[in-house]
Structure 1
C-alpha cells in the first residue's frame, strides 16, 4: 500500500503523505485553540477554507448552505468525541460564517477524504 499524497490547491503544495498534511493542519488548529485566536486572513485561512469547502463538496455535506464568501474565520475549539465507547475531549476547528454561526470542523477527517478523492484506487 503506497502512501497517499495530498495536494492543497489553495497554496499549490503537495504533502508527501496523508499524516504529514494532517499533522501540519492539526498544529495550526491547536495553536488557534491555545492562543484563543480567530484566523480571518492569510495563507492558513485560505488553506482551511479550501479544505473545508472541498470536503463539503466531496461529501455533499452542507453544500446547500455553503458559499465560500460566507466563511469569515476559523478558530480552535474544544469538543468531545466518542472513541471506543469513551468520550474524549479533543481540539478541533470551528468554521465561522458571516451570519455569526459556527460549525465544528475536523481537519484530520477532511484531509483524509480529500486524499482519498485525489488518490482513487
Structure 2
C-alpha cells in the first residue's frame, strides 16, 4: 500500500498575484522578509510587500480574533522587523517577527507564522 502525501494548505492573498502552494512556503517567504528588514533596520511603508503584510495582519485579526477591534480605527502605515523573546516548549528563544506600525505611532508585534496559519486554515475551511 502506498501512502498518499497530504497536500499542504494553499495560501491566496488578494494583494499577491501568485498563490503560495503551501502554508510553509508562505511562512518562509515572509519570515525571510522580516529577517531582511530587521537586519537592515528598514521600515516598509509602501509597495507590494507592504500591501501583502497589511492584508495578512488584517485577515489575521479577522480570522483569529487576534487583537480584535483594538486597532480598528487606526491606519496601518508601516511594518518593521523586531527581535523578540518567545517561549517554545518551555524554552525562551530569540526570534525575529514583524511589528505593524499604526498612524498614532503605536506598534504591535505579530507572528507571521501564526497569521499565515490562521489564513490557510480559514481558506481551507471555506474552500477559497
Q: What TM-score, normalized to structure 1?
A: 0.93
Equivalent residue number for residue 104 of structure 2: 99
In structure 2, relative to structure 1, the CA distance for the partners of 1:30 and 1:87 (3 Å cut) is: same
| Secondary structure of the structure 1 residue equivalent to 2:12 | strand
For residue 70 of structure 1, report the CA deviation from its aligned partner: 0.9
Instruction: Please tell me whether residue 113 in structure 1 is matched to residue 118 in structure 2.
Output: yes
Instruction: Please tell me whether residue 52 in structure 1 is matched to residue 63 in structure 2.
Output: no
- Determine the C-alpha separation between the residues in 2 that align with 1:76 and 1:86: 22
Moved more, 1-10 or 29-38: 1-10
Q: What TM-score, normalized to structure 2?
A: 0.88
For residue 105 of structure 1, report the CA deviation from its aligned partner: 1.2
The answer as to whether partners of 1:53 and 1:68 remain within 8 angstroms in 2 is no
Comparing both structures, which one devotes a greater share of its residues to helix?
Answer: 1
In structure 1, stretches of 5+ residues that fail to align are none
Query: How many residues are treated as equivalent by the alignment?
Result: 121
For residue 116 of structure 1, report the CA deviation from its aligned partner: 0.4
Matches within 5 A, 1:1-121: 1-67=6-72, 70-120=75-125
State the 4+ residue runs in structure 1 displaced beyond 4 angstroms. none
Aligned-pair RMSD on alpha carbons? 1.5
Moved more, 8-17 or 32-41: 8-17
Comparing both structures, which one devotes a greater share of its residues to strand?
Answer: 1
In structure 2, stretches of 5+ residues that fail to align are 1-5
Deviations 1:37-56 (CA, angstroms, capped at 9, x unpaired): 01000000000000000010
Larger-Rg structure: 2
